Amino acid sequence: MRQGLQLKISQQLTMTPQLQQAIRLLQLSTLELREEMIEQLYSNPLLEMEDDGQSEPITSPSQSTSSETNQVSEAEKNSEQNPEYEWNDEIPQDLPVDANWDDVYSPPAANSAGGEVDIEQVHQVTESLQGHLEWQLNLTPFSEKDKEIAVAFIDAIDDAGFIGSNLLDIISHIQYDDPDDAIEADELIAVLHRLQQFDPPGVFARTVSECLLIQLHQMAPETAYLDTAKILVAEFLDDIAAIDSARLAKKAGISAEQLQGALSLIRSLNPRPGESMSANNVEYVVPDAYVEKVKNRWVVRLNDSNMPKLRINESYSTLIKRADNSSDNQFLKDNLAEARWFLRSIESRNETLMRVAMTIVDLQQGFLDFGPIAMKPMVLSDIASKLELHESTISRVTTTKYLATPQGIFELKYFFSSHVGTASGGECSSTAVCAILKEMIGAEQPAKPLSDNKLTSLLEEQGIQVARRTVAKYRESMGIPSSSQRKRF
């Protein structure tokens, strides 16, 4: 093997920590960026929050004395108008052993000012369906054996509030040494019927029909169309799903008025009662930018109302000495460089987000004026070419970022959509096609809904060329059922 020297030229991207931080900040949402800024504020001593310049006015002693006098006079007025403000200053020196402190010392009531309840002090006791049922179980008299069965049933209930049909399998882990103590099927049914009276109505049902019947049995006997609703749920539940009112009324032997009244009562029931107790953590969307029309022009502005305003701490930065190589001075130097780069990365992120949002608004002005029906087809390369950025950068900027428009709050990715061809050789956005389909289906006759083939032909009349399977795909993406399921008699 012969050794030699070779000269080679190559380009290589080095991901420095500063570049990695800038890329990470670019794809953070507003709430995530706020948390990141607060974390940096606490970890970096060279960062501080800008003061708003609001300070309490300094009052002179005479002014403070007069203000205290006014407060005292106001308290006296309140004590005269409201006897609850009376303060008992005469506390005896020697109190009996069995004395009650409230009888001697009566401070003003905490809720006497306005009678309002502090919502922050209201705490939820139960957080899950099982916890809610166990709380009711502890308040219901059960024998030890029945309570053990009830606990097993509560553990076996699903999120919808249903329980398995095979009750013996649920309590199979319960064993007794004495054969006479073996659990019989009648005991299981008796405990189940007691648990079916718990809240929410309809829990511990084994079928949908049983769930609805439990809720109907808990209604007042004088409820209109109650008996008819019980018959329909018990015997004609499958026919109710078929949505053929004339056939169902004839089969059940009732009038059309009774059928409609019973169906309205059935629709008010909850077929999945357990979901009402599920602890859903609601995540609120905070828009990253706002767009509004000012003097016939769409103007974009970033949402920085909830962002902490950071700056370099001048007190610490002045302590840094260039020629000093001590550990304390080096610590300040490193934190100063990190703080400057962090602030520069935030400015770069905001600038890039602003440029992307303005470009999207410029290309989608028809959507802002007329809604989704006027959406234009747009892909990532369209924005990248205009801003001279890479498509991956546009993808990071538009991820989990929201734009507040007069049409609503939309994720920036919502404005990007594929296109379908038109008869004139142009392009139409898939979002606009979905909006047109939704309008057509909303205007159809309930007795004669439009099929996918009919919708395809109607789109062709408007110059939009799509296949029937494409129409079916768009319809399913919007959660619209087929024509046979939309039919109403």
**Residue 315's pLDDT band (boundaries 50, 70, 90)?**
confident
**Residue 52's pLDDT band (boundaries 50, 70, 90)?**
low
**Residue 281's pLDDT band (boundaries 50, 70, 90)?**
low
| C-alpha to C-alpha distance for 399 and 401, rounded to whole angstroms | 5
Structure tokens at 279: 């602890």
Phi, psi for 457 (deg, rounded to 5): -65, -35
Give the pLDDT of residue 10: 76
pLDDT tens-place string over residues 331-358? 888 999 899 999 999 999 999 999 999 9
User: Residue 356, Cβ neighbours under 10 Å: how many?
Assistant: 25
Q: Is the dihedral of CA 412, 415, 419, 424 positive or negative?
A: negative
Contacts of 276 (CB under 8 A, 6+ apart): 200, 270
Angle at 391 between CA 410 and CA 403, to 5 degrees: 15
Give the pLDDT of residue 358: 94
**Boundaries of CATH 1.10.10.60 in the chain?**
418-489
Q: What is the pTM of this model?
A: 0.60
Please say if the pLDDT value at position 411 is more than 60: yes
Please say if the pLDDT value at position 169 is more than 80: yes
Give the pLDDT of residue 353: 92
**Residue 244's pLDDT band (boundaries 50, 70, 90)?**
confident
Structure tokens at 52: 């708003």
Highest mean pLDDT among 240-254, 396-410, 417-431: 396-410
Phi, psi for 130 (deg, rounded to 5): -60, -40
Give the pLDDT of residue 384: 92
Contacts of 145 (CB under 8 A, 6+ apart): 181, 183, 187
Tokens 């400057």: give the residue.
340
Number of H helices, E strands in the chain: 22, 8
Among residues 187, 189, 200, the alpha carbon closest in space to that of 143 is found at 187
By DSSP bridging, strand 310-312 and strand 297-302 are unpaired
pLDDT tens-place string over residues 85-104? 444 455 555 555 455 545 55
Give the pLDDT of residue 25: 86
**Residue 56's pLDDT band (boundaries 50, 70, 90)?**
very low
DSSP collapsed to 3 states, 61-103: HHHHHHHHHHHHHHHHHHHHHCHHHCCCCCCCCCCCCCCCHHH
Distances (CA, A) of 407 to 149, 296, 367, 372: 54, 16, 8, 9
Among residues 76, 87, 82, the alpha carbon closest in space to that of 112 is found at 82
Give the pLDDT of residue 100: 53
Among residues 237, 265, 261, 267, the alpha carbon closest in space to that of 251 is found at 237
Tokens 């004590």: give the residue.
79
Give the pLDDT of residue 61: 42
Q: What percent of the chain has pLDDT over 90?
A: 32
* Domain 418-489 in CATH 2.60.40.1930: no
Distances (CA, A) of 57 to 49, 64, 173: 21, 11, 72
Mean confidence (pLDDT) of the chain: 81
Question: Residue 299, Cα to own-chain centre: how many angstroms?
Answer: 28
Highest mean pLDDT among 202-216, 239-253, 431-445: 202-216
Amino acid at 48: E
Structure tokens at 478: 């919007």
Phi, psi for 421 (deg, rounded to 5): -80, 155
Q: Kindly report which listed range (237-241, 292-296, 409-413) carries the lowest average pLDDT score.
A: 237-241
